[in-house]
């Protein structure tokens, strides 16, 4: 299933086919469904996936089993999903890691983020915040940058996903600093070490870190989006406070293996919309720091293509070499 960058850029047929398909909401699974999550239990992606799984169980009347497959910035989960039968019984809750940055970070990609998958629906936009350990003697991003310049190579930035990898590189490039990147298999262990003071900082998703932010164990310095969010209007963007032009859009969505039947795709999309558009669901997602989004399969397919291009550009601009 290994592909080249050139082939990945031109293969869009599965998305086009889904885009032409008429949405049909009549299909539903007749036996338990597996929902693959590319990050560990306790991560933001896992939290939201379990919320969706519980809602779908109630809607469909069948069990939805969450299967965490962390590692390789989502590539392990992506390969497992791509190899599954396209019958609607296995889907993946993807993000901008496996369907954005990760392919650009791999010298020999093990999957094609476009050709190997069927888009089902967008689910939301993450809020990522750059946060430091409570003992770090800074209370703003300008103070952090000043400290980093005074101590080149001594401050550290943990990552547990591709957002963190690219974010750390952009921090150094745009901020003209030398902060040492410390990669982790997933966000929860990275956050544990930041809270314990073994690592200075990280780009943390609010879904996983909000309790620690509220308790003061993590100190937020700025968010990665281009504009402030109404969910946390007091938090400035990093672009506002010393990193001009800094922007990383972190998204979540549902995909299945390539060549899923039209009626199965329609059934998944209709079910996601039914449970996701409920006012109580929107409120709960907001508490996790997730701005709810839904889409047609075709719209999500177009969005993924744009994100693969965007994250590839960001990785190259940050000077990251494929590994």
- What secondary structure does DSSP assign to 78-138, as a single string? HHHHHTS-SSSSEEEEEETIIIIIHHHH-SS-SS-TTTTEEEEEEEEEE-EEEEEETTSS-
Q: Among 54, 33, 44, which Cα is nearest to 95's?
A: 44
Predicted confidence at residue 18, as pLDDT, reads 41
- Provide the mean pLDDT of the chain: 90
Predicted confidence at residue 25, as pLDDT, reads 53
Number of residues written out for the chain? 323
- What pTM did the predictor assign? 0.81
User: In whole angstroms, what is the distance from residue 279 CA to residue 293 CA?
Assistant: 13
Give the pLDDT band (50/70/90) at residue 135.
Answer: very high
Q: Give the pLDDT mean for 83-107.
A: 94
Is 178 in a helix, a strand, or coil?
coil
Q: What is the pLDDT of residues 241-298, one digit of tens each?
A: 999 999 987 899 999 999 999 999 999 999 999 999 999 999 999 888 888 999 999 9
Whether the predicted pLDDT of 217 surpasses 60 = yes
Partners of 251 in the β-ladder: 125
67 versus 17: which is more confidently predicted?
Answer: 67
């Amino acid at each position: 299933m290994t592909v080249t960058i050139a082939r990945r850029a031109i293969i869009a047929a599965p998305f086009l086919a889904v885009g032409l398909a008429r949405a049909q909401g009549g299909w539903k699974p007749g036996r338990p469904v597996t929902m693959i999550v590319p990050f560990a239990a306790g991560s933001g992606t896992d939290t939201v996936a379990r919320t969706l799984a519980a809602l779908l169980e109630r809607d469909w009347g069948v069990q939805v089993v969450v299967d965490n497959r962390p590692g390789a910035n989502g590539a392990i989960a992506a390969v497992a999903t791509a190899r599954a039968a396209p019958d609607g019984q296995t889907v993946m809750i993807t993000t901008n890691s496996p369907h954005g940055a990760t392919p650009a970070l791999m010298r020999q990609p093990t999957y094609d983020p476009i050709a190997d998958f069927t888009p089902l629906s967008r689910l939301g936009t993450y809020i990522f915040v750059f946060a430091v350990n409570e003992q770090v003697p800074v209370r703003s991003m300008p103070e952090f940058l000043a400290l980093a310049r005074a101590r080149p190579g001594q401050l550290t930035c943990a990552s547990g996903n591709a957002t963190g990898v690219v974010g750390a590189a952009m921090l150094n490039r745009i901020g003209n600093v030398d902060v040492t990147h410390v990669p982790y298999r997933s966000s929860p262990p990275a956050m544990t070490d930041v809270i314990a003071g073994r690592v200075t900082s990280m780009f943390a998703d609010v879904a996983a870190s909000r309790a620690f932010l509220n308790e003061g164990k993590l100190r937020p310095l700025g968010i990665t989006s281009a504009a402030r969010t109404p969910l946390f209007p007091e938090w400035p963007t990093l672009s506002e406070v010393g990193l001009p032009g800094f922007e990383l859009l972190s998204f979540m969505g549902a995909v299945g293996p390539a060549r899923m039947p039209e009626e199965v795709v329609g059934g998944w999309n209709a079910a996601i919309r039914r449970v996701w558009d409920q006012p109580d669901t929107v409120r709960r997602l907001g508490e996790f720091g997730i701005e709810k989004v839904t889409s047609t399969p075709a719209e999500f397919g177009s969005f993924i293509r744009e994100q693969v291009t965007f994250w590839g550009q960001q990785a190259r601009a940050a000077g990251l070499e494929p590994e």
